[in-house]
Amino acid sequence: MKKEYETIDEALKNNFNTNTNNKALILIEELKDVKSKGYFTRVEFLKMCMWKSPRPKKFYLENSEDTIQNVSRIALAEISENVKIELLTSLRGVSIPVGSAILTLIEPQNYGVIDIRVWQTLHTYGLVNTKPQGRGFTTQDWITYLEKLRELAHKLKTSVRDIEINLFFYHKKIQEGNLYTKGAA
């Protein structure tokens, strides 16, 4: 991937679009009360997980209503981002990207989905210096990612979700080669 601009701020400013995926907007609207009630239901959990990644569906289905409500209640009340993502990933089938999607759909102002495209863009512009392929994320990667997106959102006076989705589409625009090959970054 080649830099089209000197800085990521310039790339965002010159490619910023507030139009987002309709399915995501519908889910965000459906989930707007989750934060205030302090937990999510199994139905809500399944919608969020399936939106991000339908492949582990059989694992998502292994989580009971009680487990989902209990884990989500504790996770959503948690201040530590480390603990929050670790609690969410304790649910069957939930990886760090799926956990990040859950948080994003519930609170798009403060969260963005961790994604191969966005990570590769951050790496290209020197905001992260590990995992140039943007795969195999750890809890620490999530924290670093979140810090970088929040810094950009603060600078540009927008939501973390807006930064994430714009970096996603910017990557699609300038990507060279196959996304999942060794040289894709």
**Per-residue confidence (pLDDT) for residue 183, from 0 to 100:** 45
Query: What local confidence, expressed as pLDDT, does residue 132 receive?
Result: 86
> What local confidence, expressed as pLDDT, does residue 2 receive?
79
Q: What is the pLDDT of residue 145?
A: 97
- For residue 10, give both structure tokens: 């310039």
Whether the CB-CB separation of 177 and 26 falls below 8 Å is answered with no
Share of the chain above pLDDT 90, in %: 82
Q: Write down the pLDDT at residue 171.
A: 92
Q: Mean of the pLDDT values across residues 137-158?
A: 96
Number of C-beta neighbours around residue 47 at 10 A: 17
Residue 182 has pLDDT above 60, yes or no: no
Cα(37)–Cα(30) distance, integer angstroms: 13
pLDDT in tens, 19-73: 666 889 999 999 999 999 999 999 999 999 999 999 999 999 999 999 999 999 9
Residue 181 pLDDT grade (very low, low, confident, very high; cuts 50, 70, 90): low
C-alpha of 66 from chain center: 25
Asked if 182 and 35 count as a contact pair (C-beta separation under 8 A), the reply is no
What average pLDDT does the segment 93-122 reach? 97
pLDDT in tens, 111-141: 999 999 999 999 999 999 999 888 999 999 9
User: What separation in angstroms does the CA of 69 have from each of 59, 64, 75?
Assistant: 16, 9, 10
Best CA proximity match to 148, nearest among 17, 156, 88, 84: 156
The pLDDT value recorded for residue 176 is: 74
Q: How confident is the model at residue 175 (pLDDT cuts 50, 70, 90)?
A: confident
Measured CA to CA in angstroms, residue 178 lies from 118, 129, 164 at distances of: 15, 21, 21
Per DSSP, helices labelled H in 16-95 are 22-30, 34-37, 42-52, 57-60, 65-77, 81-88
